[in-house]
Structure 1
Amino acid sequence: MSATLSQHVDNWYALFHVQLMRLALRWGYGDDESRDLVQQFFLDLLQKNLEPGTIDNPQAYLTSAFSRRLIDHYRSARVQKKREVLQPGNTYEPSVLESLVQVQSNEELMAAIRAAYKRLPARCRRVIQLKYYEGLTTEQIAERTGLHTRTVYNNLYEGIKAMRAELHKTHPRLKFAAVFSLLPLL
């Protein structure tokens, strides 16, 4: 590596690293990852047998080369993600049934679900009960309770949203589908 190449790369880094960081940020990379990509790009430039005198417009050259680097990085990350998905046993996601068994055995969680359900307004509890445990449709619930169908829908939505938010605070990995199957046990 000649001293002139090193000097040129240092000069280019001083002039253009902010612009390349912005380019990486526009591509959706985070601050730290963008910084790492730019630094690695300039380190790789030092490794190349580049003739700095042959580059007429360093800004255009660096921008194009860095854009190609970002494309290559994106493609390799996408391929890596596909490999991880295709490899069985790498990540284990329990089924809803397994989550249900685990939830039932956790008394603290059962108490949290019970408390979240009891804190719901009476209308929301009633509508959730009719929908998920008696299997009624929104229209049937409206007929039985005398509420408008839109009100029934809104009460369901608000009840589910409130329970999900409250339980997410204490148990962020909980599968919410398991919660509805547990409510009759409470």
Structure 2
Amino acid sequence: VRGTPRDTVLSDNHGGIRSAVEHLVAHGHRSIALFGDDPAFWTARQRREAFVATHQSLGLPGSPRVSMGPHSPTSVREALTRWTQGTDATTAVITGNNRITIALLLALRDLRLPLSLVGYDDFELADLVEPPVTVVHQDPAAMGQKAAQQLFARLLGDESPAQTVVMPTRLVVRGSGLRRGPASR
């Protein structure tokens, strides 16, 4: 029922995006872009807000470059082509989920751009891509377990106020965030 308080289990979207941006900045990137998911999704909006806030708090130059989905390999290619031109060319990209990461990898292959990448969400074979993809890892099993615990507590009569549990994320450094090419600034 809309508007009714309910228990929720969430990923730390703000912390995950912040760790991705900080990782890229630590490796010399100052022009970082975000490819987010469809803004109809609450998680996509949270990740965009976290990206913009982190961009500003770290004092990165210019306005944050953000493209919200849905994305296709073609739309990603078009945005990358625009963003990688000129003196303030994007040198690193963060993606909002694993589907966008895969679209970005296809575009990078086609365009042969030496961009660094951090994806949000891990995906099968991320460690087999060259370079292996650095990701913000969520633990869906732990999130599901916590949600099930909350549900069973309610079924057993727990009438305490609704709780929101924010589960931590973890940056898994595999190499794509470290990648630096001639386009690095």
TM-score using structure 1 length: 0.24
The structure in which a higher percent of residues are strand is: 2
| More contact order relative to length (CA 8 Å, sep ≥ 6) | 2
More helix by share: 1
Greater radius of gyration (CA): 1
Per the normalisation by structure 2, the TM-score is 0.24
